[in-house]
Amino acid sequence: MNFDELVGNFPALTITGLEQGAIYALVALGYTLVYGVLRLINFAHSEVFMVGTFTALWTWEALGYNQNSPSPAFGPLLLALLAGLAVAAIASAATAVTVELVAYRPLRRRNAPPLAFLITAIGASFVLAESFGIGTARAPFGMPTLIKSETVFTVFGAGVTNVQLLILGVTLVMMVGLDQFVNRSRLGRGIRAVAQDADTAALMGVNKNRVILLVFVLGGIMAGVAALLWNVRYGYTKFNIGFLIGLKAFAAAVLGGIGNLRGALLGGLLLGVAENYAAGLFGGDWKDFTGFVLLVVLLMFRPTGLLGESLGRARA
Amino acid sequence: MTATVEKQRTPGFKDRWASMPKQFRWAALAALVVFLYILPNRWFYEYLGFPIGSEYFALYTTRSDFAAVLFDTAVFVLLAVGLNVVVGFTGLLDLGYFGFYAVGAYTVALLTSPESRLGTNWPWLAAVPVAIAVTMISGVILGGPTLRLRGDYLAIVTLGFAEMIRLYAARNEGVLQGQRGIPEVAHPPGTGSDGKPLFGVVDSKPYYWLILTLIIVVIFLMRNLVNSRVGRAWVAIREDEDAAEIMGVPTFKYKLWAFAIGAAVGGLTGAVFAGKQTFINSDSFVLESSILVLAAVILGGAGNIKGAIVGGAITWYLPEWLRGVGDLIGVEFDAAEYRILIFGLVVIVMMIFRPQGIVPNRRRAAEFADRRKEAVPQETVPNE
């Protein structure tokens, strides 16, 4: 126990926690959307994120950046970021849709019991992770440093970097955008209808399978954005990074109330902050351990989360 | 709409087997057991006239020590039999089964190793019952609060639990000695006819025979258990937990029993593993192995002890054997590298096309068929 470390670095730990939590929150949205509509833990979602990190890296490599290249000027930087974002989002969404079509839809057609879905989800997750593992010789990959981390301003003695601002800003924009989409658009109404009562929604003319596909696409895009932010901030990827982030994002989704979009954001930020406080208190080695303890304790004592399950409710 | 046409059941192997005289069935079973015991012996193959050497011959795995492969396979079979109680009979998806295996292995290691900080230095045999008891208790401790959860939440909690054990073992520099692990775990006792210890470091055969014997004992106990009141309660819970509760089955108690018994088998396996390995650290208990055991149960046929045996054997033995076959035809096929990929694919395909497994439990197969029939009217909806 190191209270001095926790108290002394409190502002810095909070800021790092928020930044990590933002990435968890974006990934958590994928779990929450799919769970809200299908009551299914899309175990393969962690791999959707992993695919995003790799495709963004490959895009940058195709644009001529490597680990040694200097940080580009603003114009080319924006281009590289947007290109990486587009490719990662498309690749992640395509992966999510493939998983749905190959692994889940055939089971729905056969009215398989719920556990069968979880088992195929695990299978799909391992197939994706292992094919990337074999394809990349299980090596870790470094990234070009596109944005040089610089302190922009300080809060209570803790520096806030431009990368951290970017991550928090993008997360908030994506979050608000998704929230508005689900709450206001016609397609979003379809999502909420299917989440509330799939059969009734189908009777009212909502195409259930199209809504499910849409949900996987949205979750995939969010995971792709998270993957890009991860690349910018942490600068490495590996075939199995999805597992840990996926579990933590799932924990975040449960913390906020799975099936609840705003809950995912709240849960992600809370988890990120809690994890970093724990790291300050017990040492960095115990950070991941804290995540798991939090997940287990949460599921045991408050499985409905802080805001409750509610993709189908009005406040979405 | 082929799903609606029920195929006439043709008398298969199972029916023919059931119609054999009882004496014949016992003799066949005894012959199989004897065959399994002599399987790792070289003289057996020489006697049968197979060429010995680097060349391929039937059943033998040429790339790795055959007895070691058989031991690992047997470990998987025993784990699959244990997990089958939880997943197959009771229908609780436990993704953290390897956690119990780790608890069993660590208990034995801590109690027997002279390097352990506990300083107990027990013999292996004395540590095994303690290991089983400890894993059973840890099963109850985990199950107590978590078994109120259903389905997928339970799966994630057990997964989190197993990862917690692994991370804790890796980080704890005190008793568990972190990444350095615990060396010099005691071997099982016994002295061979030549005066050397029966259970050494080099030869895996005695360990294989030991675990084979344990498998037979566990299967015998398990069969009795499954056909008892407990087993019926488990199946009732799997089929419909609410209905079982209403009918007066104390579901929570029996779920806890399933967890404890599954955990005990896992702990026993871990104890044997630690006794053979002499060294353990947290790297021996990665999540992939949990998933492989689950794949074994699903593949073989959940809810059927025979299925668990077949599944366990396939997941470990087949890839090793295929490497030898690959050499024979001149293909470098490192099946161990692709093992998880292939089993991931197999699990998806199985769940879609044959969810009841290779050797299905008849009642469970009927359940799947029922659900499939219920789904048929939906398929006629035009926008499907």
| B116-133 tens-digit pLDDT | 777 777 888 888 899 999
Q: Which of B93, B149, B156, B166 best tests the A interface by mutation, with the highest count of A CBs <10 A? A: B156
**Higher pLDDT among residues A228 and B28, named by residue:** A228
Which domains are delineated in chain A? 3-301 (1.10.3470)
B66-109 pLDDT per residue, tens? 788 888 888 989 999 999 888 888 888 888 888 898 899 988 88
Spatial contact of A213 and A202, defined as CB atoms under 8 Å apart: no
Count CB neighbours of A252 within 10 A: 35
Q: Which residues of chain A have a CB within 8 Å of the CB of B159?
A: 247
Predicted model pTM: 0.83
> Is residue A289 within 8 Å of A60, Cβ to Cβ?
no
Q: Are strands A141-142 and A158-161 parallel, antiparallel or unpaired?
A: unpaired
What pLDDT was estimated at residue A225?
95
**Rounded to the nearest 5°, which phi and psi values hold at A236?**
-155, 160
Q: Tens-of-pLDDT digits for all 316 residues of chain A?
A: 677 777 777 888 888 899 999 999 999 999 999 988 888 888 899 999 999 999 999 999 888 887 777 777 788 888 889 999 999 999 999 999 999 999 899 988 888 877 788 888 888 998 999 899 988 888 888 888 888 878 878 877 777 888 888 999 999 999 999 999 998 999 999 998 988 888 888 898 889 899 999 999 999 999 999 999 999 888 889 998 888 899 889 888 888 888 888 889 999 999 999 988 888 888 777 788 887 788 778 777 777 777 776 555 543 3
Interface of A with B in 236-295 (CB under 8 A): 243, 247, 250-251, 285-286, 288-289, 292-293, 295
Give B229's DSSP letter. Answer: H
Cα dihedral across residues B252, B258, B259, B264: positive or negative: positive
User: Is the pLDDT confidence value at B5 over 50?
Assistant: no
Interface of B with A in 160-199 (CB under 8 A): 160-161, 163-164, 167-168, 171
Cross-chain Cβ contact B146/A134 below 8 Å: no
How many contacts (CB atoms, under 8 Å) link A and B?
Answer: 131
CB contact under 8 A, B372 and A134: no
CB-CB under 8 Å, A123 with B163: no
B152/A118 CB distance under 8 A: yes
**ipTM score here?**
0.82
- Share of residues in chain B with pLDDT > 90 (%): 10
- The one-letter amino acid code at A55 reads T
Domain boundaries along the sequence of chain B: 63-187+201-287
* Inter-chain CB proximity A109 and B379 less than 8 Å: yes
Distance spanning both ends of chain B, measured CA to CA: 14
CB B75 within 8 Å of CB B272: yes
The average pLDDT across B11-18 equals 73
Q: Give A242's contacts in chain B (Cβ within 8 Å).
A: none
CB contact under 8 A, A109 and B384: yes
Q: Which of B164, B294, B340 sits opposite A130 (nearest CB)?
A: B340
B383 vs A contacts (CB less than 8 Å): 207, 209
* Local structure of A155: helix, strand or coil: strand
Instruction: Please name the member of A123, A209, A250 whose beta carbon is closest to the beta carbon of B344.
Output: A123
User: How would DSSP label each residue in B247-273?
Assistant: TT--HHHHHHHHHHHHHHHHHHHHHHH
